[in-house]
Structure 1
Amino acid sequence: MNVSLKPIQEQVIVITGASSGIGLATARAAARKGAKVVLASENKEELAKIVQQIQNEGGQAIYVVADVGRQEDMQQIATKAIERFGRFDTWVNNAGVSIYGRLEEVTEADNRRLFDTNFWGVVSGSLVAAKHLKKRGGAIINLGSELSDLSIPLQGMYSASKHAVKGFTDALRMELEEDEAPVSVTLIKPAGINTPYPEHAKNYTDQELTLPPPVYEPEEVANAILYAATHPKRDIYVGGASKLMSTLNKVVPGVVDWVNQNFMTEMQLKDKPARHKEGGLHKPGKGGKVHGTYEGHTQKSLYTRATINPVISGVVLAAASAAAIALIGSNRSKHGNGQYTRRKSV
């Protein structure tokens, strides 16, 4: 069934995890383009500030304090959106958190909380959105990761949750298509993004956390999300590195495993003592910031821009992939002698 999506300026867009990072970047970008936005997170103070900022700039926005791990909270988001704007047209399941720690060290309680947010939040949000959108049409956009297609050490349960998000999203898409529902379902797969993600993660190590390169700007993900809100797409990779690693994992999985097991742990740790141990796993993380504190080079995604703008030539795609490979290789050399001190308890 052909799905017809409205222009951004005619849409009401719901965004979870909207008080920082990708969610905040998307909310601001959507509001500037004329969309009415419904922001949801657990951080009431920051949400109120963000909504006021959007309104001061002439935009229309409301916020809903919600824990995405609670199904009733997700229903409340939909109810508030309909009460205020009469409908919603796009629902973005963005909220997420991570844990940096070896699988045998992380507690079951922490793992379950991670899945409540990363997986069950997506499930509840998608089903609430689908019930509304099946009657009128629209888009459901779920945030996966390059780790929806492969896994890395130290973030094993996060990788598992993003695999689960992919499986659920694909099944939901098929069932809606089977019902001939006028709903687009898109999975966004970002590479490493310079948001406060490491600071919001729970940290089982003794070292400060970081992201493995290459790392992209959060505005690149926001652009991809807003593109998916107006153009039915199955998947969008944000960052040539995301597409590259996904493809390599399908073609030469053993090689990807070898690279990750030999280099990926130290590439996620700084040579500094840990400061942010608890993060935002069990309580709201510090909000209000789109960008994180990544100390290396960050970049725009030529690959993603080419994906959503076919006019850009294949030469640009090749250049983006080559740049991603070069960055990964240089960082391996830099961190080849890194040390990882394991903690036995938190």
Structure 2
Amino acid sequence: MTSKLRDKVVVITGASSGVGRITARLFAERGAAVVLAARTRETLEEVAAECESAGGRSLVVPTDVRGEEAVRELARRAVEAFGRVDVWVNNAAVTLFARTEEAPYEAYRQVIETNLFGYIHGARAVLPHFRQQGRGVLINVASVASLVGQPYTSAYCVTKFGIRGLGESVRQELLDAPDIHVCTLMPATIDTPLFQHAANYTGRAVQAMPPVASAERIGRAIVRLAVRPRRELIVGGAAKLMAAQHDLAPGLTERMMARQVDKNHLQDRPAPPTPGNLFESMPHVSGVSGGWKAAGGGLGRKLAAGLALGLPAAAALLLLRK
């Protein structure tokens, strides 16, 4: 895999923390040139130093993916510096916890502007380059929330469902370009600072809902897709179980998810309203991990077991309906 990625040019949005940060490092370890995009230059410079220490080349391009022209400039800078783009990873994401009717409207809009339009801007910026080259891999980091909705995060779920649809549509438009690939990656909860960054108007503190996967596991999945592209990839047993259960019995899955989110995503302690990082970045919280994985290990196993037990029940309900 290292030899296949050596000297490849990889653009990563949301590269300042979490999955984006570890993914940049993993590509750099394999000799790739990484183009790092996020809103804060200072944090990106830290990531660039990590990548160069790992053996890769890097270029920092501060970019707010909400702006189409800014993302086009990101693509232009990458091509100008390295001559081409081989892999583009759409990864920048924010989230919002609130009842749909109670969320500040502008906060709701910012989630859609970043998570969905940011990915659309990325696709529109890089696809002309891919077509000119005759090859390329676009990787859209989505979520199991592309398949199974959740309460209090409707803005986030809207964007993730949209990202999956974007991938399906673009793949169909690329039937005349078999060496251009569009991949949709769908993990469950990841141990990143996303939840420290989250906007929250529920009145309750939020936490990562177990089971929680490491950011490095998701980064490695992205690297594998760059070498062996797939249409869609669900990462993690819990995510696969949730997707299967939703296919078998969507109503039951919705009720189970509502209870799990209320019990395990929202904490039993108050929290003041906050816009999180929707409008401005939070560079002081920019590591790879959010510190969630170790805290939720035992509960994660229990929830995964509960989902597994739910599958036979869902299958039985499906048979009863026929």
Q: Which residue of 2 aligns with 1:297?
A: 296
Pairing 1:50–2:47 present: yes
1:37-85 Cα deviation digits (max 9, x unpaired): 0000001110012212322443210111111010001111111111111
Instruction: Kindly report structure 1 stretches of 4+ aligned residues shifted beyond 3 Å.
Output: 327-330
What is the identity, as a one-letter code, of the residue corresponding to 2:155? Answer: M
Q: 1:325 aligned to 2:322?
A: no
Equivalent pairs, count: 303
Query: Retained in 2: the 8 A contact 1:18–1:39?
Result: yes
Q: How does 1:68-147 map to 2 (within 5 A)?
A: 68-136=65-133, 137-147=135-145
Secondary structure at 2:34's aligned position in 1?
Answer: strand
Asked if 1:19 corresponds to 2:22, the answer is no
* Corresponding residue SS for 2:55: coil
Query: Structure 2 CA distance, aligned partners of 1:87 and 1:212?
Result: 39
Letter in 1 for 2:183: T
1:165 to 156, 163, 166: 163
Instruction: Note if 1:235 corresponds to 2:214.
Output: no
Q: Aligned letter for 1:173?
A: R
- Measured in 1, the distance between the counterparts of 2:109 and 2:61 equals 24
Work out whether residues 203 and 273 of structure 2, in 8 Å CA contact, stay in contact via their aligned partners in 1: no
The Cα offsets for residues 64-112 of structure 1, whole Å up to 9 and x where unpaired, read as: 1111010001111111111111111000000001001110111221111
Amino acid at match of 1:67: D
* Partner amino acid, structure 2, of 1:233: R
Match of 1:250 among 225, 247, 250: 247
SS in 1 for 2:205: strand
Q: Give the match's secondary structure for 1:270.
A: strand
Q: Is the 8 A contact 2:195 2:208 kept in 1?
A: yes
Rounded Cα–Cα distance in structure 2 between residues aligned with 1:64 and 1:188: 24
Give ranges in structure 2 of 5+ residues lacking alignment.
310-322
- TM-score (ref. length: structure 1): 0.83
> Paired residue for 2:27?
30
Cα separation, 2, equivalents of 1:198 and 1:160: 18
Partner SS for 2:61:
strand
Question: Which blocks of at least 5 consecutive residues in structure 1 are unaligned?
Answer: 1-5, 300-319, 331-346
Supply the distance in 2 between the matched residues of 1:278 and 1:328 (Cα, whole angstroms): 32
Percent identity between matched residues is: 33
| 1:202-221 paired onto structure 2 within 5 Å | 202-221=199-218
Shift of 1:324: 5.8
Preserved contact between residue 216 and residue 298 of structure 1 (Cα < 8 Å): no
Question: Mean Cα displacement is larger for which, 238-247 or 282-291?
Answer: 282-291
Looking at structure 1, the residues matched to 234 and 303 of structure 2 have their Cα atoms a distance apart, in angstroms, of 14
1:182 corresponds to 2:161: no
SS at match of 2:268: strand
> Helix, strand or coil: the match of 1:189?
strand
Residues of 2 paired with 1:72 and 1:298: CA distance?
42
Shift of 1:288: 3.1
- Using the TM superposition, give the Cα deviation of residue 208 of structure 1 relative to its aligned residue in structure 2, in angstroms: 1.9
- 1:101–1:83 distance in 2 versus 1, CA, 3 Å: same
Deviation at 1:242, TM superposition (A): 1.0
- Structure-1 residue corresponding to 2:312: none
Deviation sequence 1:248-296 (CA, Å, 0-9, x none): 1111101101112233223111233327822111111235300002162
Shift in CA distance, 298/38, structure 1 to aligned 2, threshold 3 Å: farther
